[in-house]
Amino acid sequence: MLLPKPAERDLRLDLFRGLALWLIFLDHIPSNIVNWVTIRNYGFSDATEIFVFISGYTAAFVYGRAMREHGAVVAGARILKRAWQVYVAHIFLFAIYTAEISYVAHSFENPLYGEEMGIFDFLQQPDITLAQAMLLKFKPANMDVLPLYIVLLAGFPPTLWLLLRVPAAALGASALLYALTLYFEWNIPAYPNGNWVFNPFAWQMLFVFGAWCALGGAKQLSAAILSPVTAALAILFLVFAFFIVLTWYIPGLDALVPRRLEEWMYPIDKTNLGVLRIVHFLSLAVLTVRLVPRDWPGLRSLWLRPAILCGQHSLEIFCLGVFLSFAAHFAMVEINQGVGMQIATSLLGIVLMIATAALISWYKRIEGRSPQSRPGPPGTTLVGGGV
Amino acid sequence: MKPIVVALLCVLIGGAAVAKEGNECITAAGAIAPDFSLPHVALAIAKKKLDVAIVGSASSELNGPAGTNIAYPTRLEEALRGLLPGVTVKVATYARPRETASEMEAKLPRIISESKPALLVWQTGTADAIRGVDPDEFRVSLDDGVDKLRAADTDVVFMNMQYSPRTEAMLAVTAYADAMRIVALKREAVLFDRFTIMKRWNEAGVFDLYGATRTTNVAERVHDCLGRLLADVVIAGAKLAPAADKGTQ
């Protein structure tokens, strides 16, 4: 609000990040009929791509300006501070998760589920698992996005420095790292087995691409993005992806997919951000930019305000969403798991996310207005909580 | 004569009662018809000798209070014997807690040479989800397993994880369930969708899958229904097979 030109901020980013946060929340509630609206059921990519791309875009937008105005050291320090905040948020969520799982482990017993009770084994060795959790190696279900984000932010200062000097070199380095990661199968090990669910060495590419777009790349590409040929290709690809997804559910359809294509196409890897996922996301993005121009009046309408508010406080709302998805599942288990309850908890969760975002905005406003409370330079924290 | 009649009546009424309670779970399970045929099962039935092997983890085992085996493999064997009079049916179970798909895949050759089954029921997914095995690695294990089984003229039925409402938010099974469904579709193998069946039971209120209990009452009835449904799927899969076809894929 204290920004010199508030109009500079592209509200579309907040809008779609807000929507992505809602989708991530919905996807995290198991056995939820409302899940059927989320985009992962209609193509290769899902809300994670939207979230990571927009986060890269806004990070470059906010910290890029800070780097130009205050230098690389100050901007780098702020990025690392943000990474630290995300880390603290992750550990906080882990504590809530552990509380819930410990409760269930103590209150639930059934010989039918002897096998499933294996997920409580980690409670037997708190010394190891807590340390592994703090090292970000032990990540329970649905807690994989924030660790990815922490690593992306921690590596961002040098990337941003290069992006501001030789944007093409930064983008090229990012693509090279992605390619090498796919080739050599690099990843960070996880505890007790396997690797990170979201491989940061692969996913960084979307983050850096978002940042590159924010720092002028989008303008360079605008002719290509807005060309009808691109739009047609994007539509074709989305239709193709939808058809392929249908073959995963309907027996017999699979016969229509040529074997060569299958061999080339599968697996469509989420961990390593498979190429088809990127192309699917870019197709969605190209069409979105076409359908929703930057100065679209609807962006100022009351109807979209809730999603935009959520998108402006993404870290807080993301964490809240993860917590609410635990809580929603808990409520379903303890009270009722009917379709009505699924819809009600989904809607209630989104309403709570909106209310919290509004509350945070209000806090920022009152804190921003009192001169003593914010001695730091304006810009970073005021742009809707930054990243 | 009288005692015999009374005894017969008791058996009939008792049987009807059990069947009624049991049928509720059969109807509530919904459509479970197999998508693909089981040609080697059809061939084995024609030869009057059906050997089935079950490879799985802890949810393929269940012992009653008296130590009797009440798990679905035993129920499957009994149901198949009832449905296939004159056919010698044998079900061998190779279940080990915590075993992943790749560990199971590694022991398939031993199982094949030991029991020479016409059908292998492959129950897996939960242990991999708990241990956080890479879903892609999981998929490759299933795929390699299908190769080995096909080479040994053995049909395969995949059985996915149990629906466990209490632990659902803590255990991300979707990636593994999807992998099983996709391998089944790609390789034209039958998937016994235990997850969906149990979910339907839960929705229809046939079984209380939320309740905490130390007794095996619910578990016993669940396994009984699973065994009978699985038998229906096996028979239906065999009927889909063209009579004289040796069943290339």
Query: Closest residue of B to A190, CA-based?
Result: B132
Decide if pLDDT at B9 tops 70: no
Residue A277 near residue A268 (C-beta atoms within 8 A):
yes
CA dihedral B240, B243, B247, B249 (to 10 degrees): -30
Mean pLDDT value across residues A351-355: 97
Which candidate in A106, A107, A116 is best for mutational testing of the B interface (most B CBs within 10 A)? A116
Distance from CA of B21 to the nearest CA of A (A): 19
Query: For residue B121, what are the β-bridge partners?
Result: B54, B157
| Chain A neighbors of B214, CB-CB under 8 A | 109, 111
Choose the final residue of a domain: A205, A220, A235.
A220
> For residue A187, which phi and psi values (nearest 5 degrees)?
-165, 175
Name the nearest CA neighbour of A13 among A49, A47, A53, A45: A53
Residue contacts between A and B (CB atoms, under 8 Å): 122
Cross-sheet strand order for the sheet of B190-192: B88-95, B49-56, B119-123, B155-159, B190-192
A198 and A63 within one domain = yes
Q: Which residue has the higher pLDDT, A90 or A1?
A: A90
Q: d(Cα B57, Cα B127) in Å, to the nearest integer?
A: 7
Which candidate in B25, B123, B126, B130 is best for mutational testing of the A interface (most A CBs within 10 A)? B130
Query: Closest residue of B to A28, CA-based?
Result: B169
Structural domain contains residue A112? yes
Structural domain contains residue A5? no
Decide if pLDDT at A42 tops 60: yes
**Biggest alpha carbon distance in chain B?**
65
| pLDDT interval class at B10 (50, 70, 90) | very low
Mean pLDDT value across residues A315-330: 91
> For residue B55, which phi and psi values (nearest 5 degrees)?
-115, 135
Q: Count structural domains, chain A.
A: 3
**3-state SS class at B90:** strand
Choose the final residue of a domain: A220, A239, A261.
A220
Contact between B130 and A118 using a beta-carbon 8 Å cutoff: yes
Q: Count structural domains, chain B.
A: 1
Contact between A104 and B127 using a beta-carbon 8 Å cutoff: no
Contact between B212 and A109 using a beta-carbon 8 Å cutoff: yes
Contact between B162 and A115 using a beta-carbon 8 Å cutoff: yes
Contact between A194 and B178 using a beta-carbon 8 Å cutoff: no
Q: d(Cα A51, Cα A206) in Å, to the nearest integer?
A: 10
Q: d(Cα A141, Cα A126) in Å, to the nearest integer?
A: 17
Distance from CA of B81 to the nearest CA of A (A): 25
Enclosing domain of residue B225:
2-240
Structural domain contains residue A365? yes
Ranges A182-191, B54-63, B239-248: which has the least confidence: B239-248
For residue A3 the two structure tokens come to 């920004």
Contact between B133 and A333 using a beta-carbon 8 Å cutoff: no
Name the nearest CA neighbour of A155 among A190, A197, A203, A196: A203
Tell me which long-range contacts B196-199 makes (C-beta under 8 A, separation of at least 24): B196/B30, B196/B163, B197/B29, B197/B30, B197/B32, B197/B163, B197/B226, B197/B229, B198/B162, B198/B163, B198/B222, B199/A31, B199/B163
Structural domain contains residue A57? yes
| pLDDT interval class at A41 (50, 70, 90) | confident
Return the pLDDT at B69.
87
Enclosing domain of residue A256:
227-291
Decide if pLDDT at A361 tops 90: yes
Contact between B214 and A115 using a beta-carbon 8 Å cutoff: no
**3-state SS class at B120:** strand
| Chain A neighbors of B131, CB-CB under 8 A | 192-194
**CATH classification at residue B232:** 3.40.50.1110
Q: In this predicted model, what pLDDT tens digit does every residue of B63-96 receive, in sequence order?
A: 888 878 899 999 999 999 999 999 999 999 999 9
**pTM of the predicted structure, to 2 decimals:** 0.84
The CA-CA-CA angle for residues B44, B46, B51, to 5°, reads 25
For residue A304 the two structure tokens come to 């979209």
For residue A177 the two structure tokens come to 């790292």
Query: Closest residue of B to A29, CA-based?
Result: B169
Q: In this predicted model, what pLDDT tens digit does every residue of B139-170 receive, in sequence order?
A: 999 999 999 999 999 999 999 999 998 888 88
Query: If you average pLDDT over every residue of chain A, what do you get?
Result: 88
Q: In this predicted model, what pLDDT tens digit does every residue of A203-228 receive, in sequence order?
A: 999 999 999 999 999 999 999 999 99
Return the pLDDT at A95.
92
Return the pLDDT at B4.
52
In chain B, % of residues over pLDDT 70: 88
Return the pLDDT at A333.
81
Structural domain contains residue B248? no
Q: What is the ipTM of this complex?
A: 0.84
Query: Among partner residues B133, B135, B178, which is closest to A193 by beta-carbon distance?
Result: B133
DSSP-derived pairing of the beta strands B49-56 and B88-95: parallel
Residue A25 near residue A307 (C-beta atoms within 8 A):
no
